[in-house]
Structure 1
Amino acid sequence: MKKIEATIRSSKFDDVKEALHRIDIDYFTFFEVKGVGKEKTPEGFYRGAYYDLGSIPRIMLELVVPDDLVDKAVESILSSAKTGDIGDGKVFIYDVLSAIRIRTGEVGEAAL
């Protein structure tokens, strides 16, 4: 099993979600996150308050998939999240030693 973490543009979330559903991956966790990258954004004051315009809103996806679905999942994310511009995001892949479904006690891929 592998854990895939992907940080993508917020505007591409629905496209990525649909692409994952098309390959029968209907289970994942996502978070609204902020990050900083190579692109430069201005700082600002408005009516006496400082606004951090340097933090860029993104979505982070986390999904654990069987080894045979890793390539399909990554390709789905890459093809649906890509705009070709700076800031499209990153994908990281990790080994998962085990998984346990709390409700039933199932272990390994059966827990997914």
Structure 2
Amino acid sequence: MTATLRLQRIFPYAVWDRGPWEIELDAEVVATIQAGGRLELELKAGHHTLLLRGAGRRKSPGRGFMVADGELVGFVCHPQPVWGLWAYFVPTRWIVLQERRLGD
């Protein structure tokens, strides 16, 4: 009973955070993703929590999601836009993580 997580790191706004981000799945670092990168991970069907960590205290809020057997679930991530400068002062909002439901 497996499913697939697809993650894509886009760069619509920021040019200052190009370092790798760690991918935490269920509180365990499972991979890293580079700026402009895309990856797929196999995972068990069920409930999971996804979080991304950049340099220092920069990270995304944790995102819980359900995935069924054989399902493909996708997320797009990027740094906060320039106008989101408040993220500098609230590092847990530095990375935007948006779920995108995808077909097989």
Shorter-normalised TM range: 0.3 to 0.5
User: 1 or 2, which has the higher strand percentage?
Assistant: 2
> Which protein has the bigger helix share?
1
Higher normalized contact order (CA 8 Å, seq sep 6+, divided by chain length):
1
